[in-house]
Structure 1
Amino acid sequence: MNLSALQTRVARDIVAYVRQEQFEEGHHLTELGLAKVLNTSRSPVKIAMQFLAEQGMLTYDRNRGFFLALSAKDMAGFAQSLFEEAEDPLYLQIASMRLQRKLPEQFAETDLMRLFDVTRATLRVVLMRIQQEGWIEQRAGQGWQFLPIIDSVQAYEESYTFRAIIEPAALLAPTFMVDAEALSRCRRQQEYIARGGYLTMTPRELFEANAQFHETLATFSGNRFHLQTVRRLDGLRRLVEYQQASQRTPRKEHAEEHLEILALLEAGDRLAAADRMRRHLEHARQHKVLSGLFITGMATDTELT
């Protein structure tokens, strides 16, 4: 079964959720329940569950629905395969070359068709996905144009500096309101990571858990522009961090810092939570930027001058 980009993401989210909750073999999963937890519609969930059944993770009973064929603790290999090998090779090629600035800022579809030896239909599917992710747009006349992304050390640092301004501010917004159920779900996820989940989670799972934490708190702000901005930045960071070598020790520390912020919000101390968020982002910036932990092949400031 060939999945769309959305269906693939939902399939990965289902696997991550099952592993986070540590469900046992035989656990019953429902379309409605997963759609609610993953904040998506039932249609992509249904297709994703059918795909996971084909892959052997789920079993299906016509009268009772879907059940886990594996326990969460036995899914490490399955998750690795799904998260690391199911990506579209053409998408990865374009992303890698874009990060290394080996593609022109503006181009025609025929240029990439020749470069990658693919049909227009195949290329179009990938370009539509990239457009949805926000790092490319169609030109008013003809062709396409890449938008600014995090493709250098300087750009990475700028993104963290900007986040340190907007994310603490979101926690202090006058419209801020905690969703207790979403916060509880977020806390369980971060507790799982901190207690050892980071040792077996794939880089994609770790990144998505991190993104979900920050986007959940942006949702609490009640300000659509806070949420839109955080999601946009997360989309740009995916290009870098999906391909970044796994650095698992700070992942534990970051999860612990996330838990401190959540505890302060539960206690109603938004001012302290905002200050802790600022220090958390500064810590992450120092680790990522100052220690030079970047993906292999990403342009450096020297290379860009």
Structure 2
Amino acid sequence: MINHLASKIVEYVRAQDEPNGMRLVERKLAEHLKVSRSPVRSALKMLEEQGLLKTAETGGFYVDWDGRTVPASLTDPQSDDDDEAYMKIAGDRLSGDLPDKVTESELARRYGLTKAHLGRVLRRIAGEGWIDRLPGHGWEFLPMLTSMQAYKDSYRFRLTIEPAAILEPTFVLNRSSLEDCRQHQQRLIDGEIWDVSNPDLFDINSRLHEAIIECSHNLFFIESLKRIDRLRRLIEYRQSLNRKYAIVRCREHVRLVDLLLQGRMVEASEFMTNHLSSVSVMKTVAD
């Protein structure tokens, strides 16, 4: 998803008359691409790593290329092989079979990948925030939730902050963002859920919860949830619900957004509590 968004941002920049030096505003890009700001931020960071953007002194990014040349990684669509390699690395990291620090040559040999193929996968992982490039040619995996107890604790923490965020006095609806999230959930209900990958399903669902908590304008709530989402990404792939149950959760997401859009905040907060409680039980009951 991050690679796809990066490609869309490149298309947007190339459509401008004089792209070089143009400032990119995260909020406007999110509205243009009809996604939340979090994945846009990851895509911008990925483009910065590839030398197409630079960080502005006042924050944010500006274009630092002429808009004509585009990296092959952004013009070549991701293949099923990319997803397979991604999931193998995720699974091995979650099971503890990969050390904290790795080199590209080690990963290429282990998974039988070409340099270009591995590069696409590593950029995707870096964009999602669970690996960082080290000086030189190495990479370091970032801390993630790996135990079921920590996973359960993450849901207990979410039960504390997410319902409370809806009742914050600073809570103001971002209607366009929530409506966009609702559309994504409805498409899943209408059939897309049977084809979407576990990573993409995680992104769609976590984006909805982050869009809701962003309406609180409470920085501590917002950053806490985003950090939890980064930490739980890998274990969520293993704990993903059977799709027939996941559809029920998508319907609950739609109901939750409808309550918010109708201004029924107390009901929405209570609904959030029930939603998170039932999901956590379903995902951890086998333990």
TM-score under structure 1 normalisation?
0.59
The question of 1:35 aligning with 2:29 is answered no
Cα distance in 1, alignment partners of residues 269 and 140 from structure 2: 37
> Deviation digits for residues 121-153 of structure 1, max 9, x if unmatched?
865664454344232346799955433213232
**For each residue in 1:224-279, what CA deviation from the matched residue of structure 2 results, as whole angstroms up to 9, or x when unmatched?**
44333333333344434446666122222212322332233233232332222122
Give the match for residue 186 of structure 1.
181
Q: Name the structure 2 match of 1:197.
A: 191
Map of 1:207-222 to 2, 5 A cutoff? 207-222=202-217
Partners of 2:32 and 2:156 in 1: how far apart? Answer: 34
CA distance in structure 2 between the aligned counterparts of 1:152 and 1:84, rounded to whole angstroms: 31
SS of equivalent to 1:130: helix
1:172 matched residue in structure 2: 167
Question: After the TM superposition, which residues 1-305 of structure 1 pair with which residues of structure 2 at under 5 Å, given as runs?
Answer: 6-9=2-5, 35-38=32-35, 85=80, 87=82, 89-107=84-102, 111-112=106-107, 115-116=110-111, 126-137=121-132, 144-194=139-189, 196-197=190-191, 200-204=194-198, 205-242=200-237, 247-292=242-287
CA 1:104/1:249 → structure 2, altered by over 3 Å: closer, same or farther? same
Q: CA RMSD in A?
A: 3.8
Letter in 2 for 1:271: V
**Residues 198 and 206 in structure 1, CA contact (< 8 A), matched pair in contact too:** no
Q: Is the 8 A contact 1:203 1:242 kept in 2?
A: no
Query: 1:97 corresponds to which letter in structure 2?
Result: D
Runs of 5+ in structure 1 lacking a partner?
A: 13-31, 45-81, 293-305
Contact 2:35/2:180 (8 A) holds in 1: no
Q: Cα gap change, 1:252/1:131 in structure 2, threshold over 3 Å: closer, same or farther?
A: closer
CA contact (8 A) 2:2 2:128 kept: no
Say whether the 8 Å CA contact 2:131–2:140 is kept in structure 1. yes
Q: Alpha carbons of 1:198 and 1:289: their partners in 2 closer, same or farther (altered >3 Å)?
A: farther
Judge conservation of contact 2:36–2:211 (CA < 8 Å) in 1.
no
TM-score of the aligned structures, taking structure 2 as reference length: 0.62
| Worse overlay, 227-236 or 160-169 | 227-236
Structure 1 counterpart of 2:63: none
Supply the distance in 1 between the matched residues of 2:282 and 2:262 (Cα, whole angstroms). 29
Partners of 1:134 and 1:101 in 2: how far apart?
18
Aligned residues: 229
2-side partners of 1:185 and 1:145: how far apart? 34
Give, in angstroms, the shift of residue 161 of structure 1.
1.6
- In structure 2, how many angstroms separate the alpha carbons of the residues matched to 1:201 and 1:122? 23
